[in-house]
Amino acid sequence: MSFSFHPNPVISDDIAVLQKCGLPWEKLKGKTILISGANGFLPAYMVYTLLGLNSTHQLDLKVIAMVRNESKGKDRFQAFLHRSDFRLWVNDVCKPMNLDEDLHFIIHAASQASPRFYGSDPVGTLNANVTGTLNLLRLASEKNVERFLYFSSSEVYGSVDADKIPTKESDYGYIDPTHVRSCYAESKRMGETICVSWMHQFGIPVVMVRPFHTYGPGMDLSDGRVYADFIADMVGGKDIHMKSDGSAVRAFCYITDAAYGFFLVLLNGEAGSAYNVGSDKNICSILQLAEKLVGLFPESNLKVVRMPTENKAGYINTLVSKTAPDISRLRNLGWNFDETSIEKGFLRTINSYK
């Protein structure tokens, strides 16, 4: 069966690549997998991949996609609502959970990851990472799951010294717990501690991923992150408007590369361990990224326009000037993808919206 069941051909091609990446998919045969926060574009790719595996690998697995926003969930997963191997479960991770059916894997990716929420809803931001994690671990204990994957974040590292960039999983910098923006980073840290505590005390086999800057089709272009703003400009055929000096340096990872890492950790990761998932090659400043993007479409005569610094409502800028992951631990686990270049990845992303 082809992957034309997904209406977006770029996403269909991406999922086809993941199907053939050689992971031990047989571990999922006949299993039921719950994915919280499934409306997010990272976990959504995992949903698409898992459902595709039923067609290509005859795994007879079932996906339960937990979402808080029903209308958004029905829109994102419209092509799968009729399938018997898919269930859309409308539920808030911060509320008690009752689920009658058996569960074998839980992937906890529910989180307000956009910086525009850190100032406008810091309590809601930390609740999904703390209360939501506790609720799902209780469910994991009740169902005696085989594996619990927690989506943490590269923000747990805080502001690290220059000699710790690229950053290993054991390197941590300063986070000011009295700064409201820390609602995200500190609660992600606490989420990790909750996970390993439940493993230690109740035997829940947890693994954790720390995604760095990941982009691709399905991103919310209004979520406030600068590279989402850039993509929105390019899709709209507009000049890129730089509202900072563009000096911050980030490592950018295309969604297919990252999703391979997420599944690798889910299936083969060492219980109790955290893994950086990101690119250690595609590193550039925000200004360089903007220049690369306008260069993708020379015929459009677009340019980078420097604008006065602007504070978006609810958006609190990070104080971290440079981030880049050391992915040795992921490579030792078997991550051997040929990383998608910034030019290729962003071209695919922009085209997916067009």
Q: Express each pLDDT in 218-257 by its tens digit.
A: 999 988 889 999 999 999 999 998 888 899 999 999 999 9
Number of domains, the chain: 1
In the DSSP assignment, the letter for residue 305 is E
pLDDT at 3: 44
Evaluate whether residue 200 is within a structural domain: yes
Query: CATH number for the domain including 177?
Result: 3.40.50.720
- Please say whether the beta carbons of 12 and 4 come within 8 A: yes
In the DSSP assignment, the letter for residue 250 is E
- Please say whether the beta carbons of 53 and 25 come within 8 A: yes
- Block means of pLDDT (10 residues each) for the chain, 354 residues, are 68 94 96 98 96 94 98 96 96 94 97 88 96 98 98 96 96 95 97 98 98 95 90 94 88 97 98 97 95 95 82 57 94 90 97 92
- The string of pLDDT tens digits covering residues 32-90 is 999 999 999 999 999 999 999 999 999 999 999 999 999 999 999 999 999 999 999 99
Evaluate whether residue 228 is within a structural domain: no
pLDDT at 170: 97
User: What is d(CA 344, CA 341) in angstroms, rounded to the nearest whole number?
Assistant: 5
Report field, pTM of the whole predicted structure over 0.85: yes
Task: Residue 251: name the closest of 216, 213, 222 by CA.
Answer: 213
User: What is d(CA 34, CA 47) in angstroms, rounded to the nearest whole number?
Assistant: 10
User: What is d(CA 153, CA 284) in angstroms, rounded to the nearest whole number?
Assistant: 20
DSSP states along 273-301: -EEEES-SS-EEEHHHHHHHHHHT-GGGT
The amino acid present at 197, given as its one-letter code, is S
- The residues near 58 (Cβ < 8 Å, ≥ 6 apart) are none
DSSP states along 177-246: TTSTTHHHHHHHHHHHHHHHHHHHHH---EEEEEE-EEE-TT--TTS--HHHHHHHHHHTT--EEE-S--
Evaluate whether residue 127 is within a structural domain: yes
pLDDT at 65: 98
Evaluate whether residue 292 is within a structural domain: no
User: What is d(CA 16, CA 201) in angstroms, rounded to the nearest whole number?
Assistant: 40
Strand residues in the chain grouped as ranges (E): 32-36, 62-67, 86-90, 105-108, 147-151, 206-211, 213-215, 240-242, 249-254, 274-277, 283-285, 304-306
User: What is d(CA 273, CA 48) in angstroms, rounded to the nearest whole number?
Assistant: 26
Q: Which domain holds residue 97?
A: 9-219+252-281+323-341
Evaluate whether residue 309 is within a structural domain: no
Evaluate whether residue 291 is within a structural domain: no
Evaluate whether residue 295 is within a structural domain: no
